[in-house]
Amino acid sequence: MSTNNNLRVNISVSYIYNFLMQLDITSAIWVLYLSFKGMSLVEIGVIESIYHITGLLFELPTGAIADIYGKRFSVILGRVISVISCIFMITSNNMLGFSVAFILSAASGNLNSGAAEALIFDSLKELGEEEKYKKIWGSISFFMSMAQGMAVLIGGILADLNFLYAYIVGTAIQIVALVSSFRFNEPPTNKNEEKCQENKIIYQLKTSIKVLKVRKMVLYLILFSALVGSLQTTVYFYSQKFFSNMNYSSTIIAIICALSRAIEAMSSKYAYKFEKLFKLRGTLISIAAINIVALIGLAFIEKLSILFFFVTSITEGLGYTIFSDYINKRIPSEYRATILSFDSLCFSFFMISVFPFFGLVVEKIGFSVTFGVMAIIYVPIMLFIMQKLKKNKNREIIGGISDDRISVK
């Protein structure tokens, strides 16, 4: 099989692999599961923080591993560790066991983040079709979101029967995802061979940081993406308990989450049209404003809480696709997985702070007020990052970004 055919196989396999990856039937019930197992909201917040602390520590090194030893290798290893994590979730009954499960889950995510995405972009780049990335990634994101919707619906139904059923099925799906990952082929990249004896991973990290220093537009896009993502993820996961407090059953909560994923799927699929209409600045302003409005709605209009919850799904689909395209087009292939891992690292940093804080405040003053507090906190941070983006966007236009292999010495 020719190299081009191998690379085209990567695109086809990516649809299957990413669908299975997102068919995580425990995603909408893990908060309820841990609560059922006796964990308080504060303990759940701490466990989630442990997850993101792990991500913070491992993200860049695992990205460097993907760039040095191969993105395919990184993806496969990530799935192996994910299966082990699922087993710990099934067999654990205390905070220590769940913490280990979340550490392994974070490590598996670290190995996948950046690597799976880079496999697609680098394959298209080698084929000379990188301009198709936004549309293809939007389509893949559509199937990913649909998988998430199916997952939460199935997970909710199984949880009403028995939480254990959901985790057993989830483990089986991860095993199938592992099998599918062996179909990937490693796309060629231009690696810098250094004569120095410095550790390869350390060198990769240092050089990637130099790339971000040169391309500050990428840095602030990553920060904005991580900020928005942390807001949406916090709302999504705590919504399980929020809707449970409103006396919705696990099945109804699963249906709500499934519908939100369907909305996210459609916004992902057509994100390229939204970006084409509003361009960079308009897209960023729209995503930020809509999220703030949604938080305010969740805080003050309880009768429409499900509607405002759906609104956050629209921007999640748009942001996931559009930010990926913006960032990928501005970074060199040989550092792609490492820099994309920095994106995940920033997300983890925000989540370490936001998730337990949200749970603590909810226990003190309730969900509604907490949503309002979050809106107040996020506004000045978003405005600051958007100002930096505007400033560096002007520099990018003046300096140009056409040379993919910029000097990082």
Where residue 77 falls among pLDDT bands split at 50, 70, 90?
A: very high
Degrees (nearest 5) of the Cα angle 244, 246, 249?
45
Lookup: tokens for 180: 């599918």
pLDDT over 70 at 199, yes or no = no
CB atoms closer than 10 angstroms to residue 91:
10
Pick the range with the lowest mean pLDDT from 128-137, 196-205, 379-388: 196-205
| Per-residue pLDDT, 402 | 42
What is the Cα–Cα distance from 280 to 322, expressed in whole angstroms? 9
Query: Which amino acid is residue 163, in one-letter code?
Result: F
Contacts of 210 (CB under 8 A, 6+ apart): 408, 409
Q: How far apart, in whole angstroms, are the C-alpha atoms of residue 247 and residue 174?
A: 32
Contact present, 219 and 313 (Cβ < 8 Å): no
Task: Write the single-letter amino acid at 289.
Answer: A
Least Cα distance to 280 among 221, 233, 333 occurs for 221
Confidence of residue 82 (pLDDT cuts 50, 70, 90): very high
* Residue closest to 405 by CA, chosen among 121, 132, 215: 215
For 35-74, the pLDDT digits (tens) are: 888 888 778 878 877 887 887 788 777 777 777 788 888 8
> What is the pTM assigned to this prediction?
0.64
Q: Give the separation between CA 288 and CA 224, rounded to whole angstroms.
A: 9
Question: What DSSP letter does each residue of 357-376 carry, written as one string?
Answer: HHHHHHHHH-HHHHHHHHHH
Give Rg (Cα) of the chain: 20
Residues 279-303 have a mean pLDDT of: 84
Highest mean pLDDT among 76-90, 127-141, 187-201, 338-352: 76-90
Q: How many residues does the chain have?
A: 409
> What's the rounded Cα separation, in Å, for the pair 344 and 226?
7
Q: Which domains does the chain have, with CATH numbers?
A: 3-183+200-397 (1.20.1250.20)
pLDDT at 136: 85
Q: For residues 81 and 75, what is the distance between their CA atoms, to the nearest angstrom?
A: 10
Contact 211, 332 (CB under 8 A): yes
Among 77-81, 174-178, 275-279, where is mean pLDDT lowest? 275-279
Q: Are 208 and 338 in contact (CB under 8 A)?
A: yes
- For 110, the 3-state DSSP assignment is helix
The structure tokens 């004569």 sit at 195
Least confident among 94-103, 113-122, 186-195, 226-235: 186-195
How large is the average pLDDT for residues 275-294? Answer: 82
Residue for token pair 């950046």: 114
For the chain, give the percent of residues with pLDDT over 70. 88
pLDDT of residue 399: 43
- Indicate the residue type of 208: S
Minimum mean pLDDT range among 195-199, 257-261, 355-359: 195-199
Binning pLDDT at 50, 70 and 90, where does residue 189 land? low
Using the structure block, give the residue that is written with the tokens 């979050």.
Answer: 374
pLDDT at residue 197 is higher than 70 = no
User: Of 171-185, 203-217, 328-342, 389-403, which one has max mean pLDDT?
Assistant: 171-185
Nearest to 82 by CA among 104, 112, 62: 104
pLDDT of residue 403: 39
Model pLDDT for residues 206-252, shown as the tens digit of each residue: 766 777 777 778 888 888 888 888 888 888 878 877 888 888 877 78
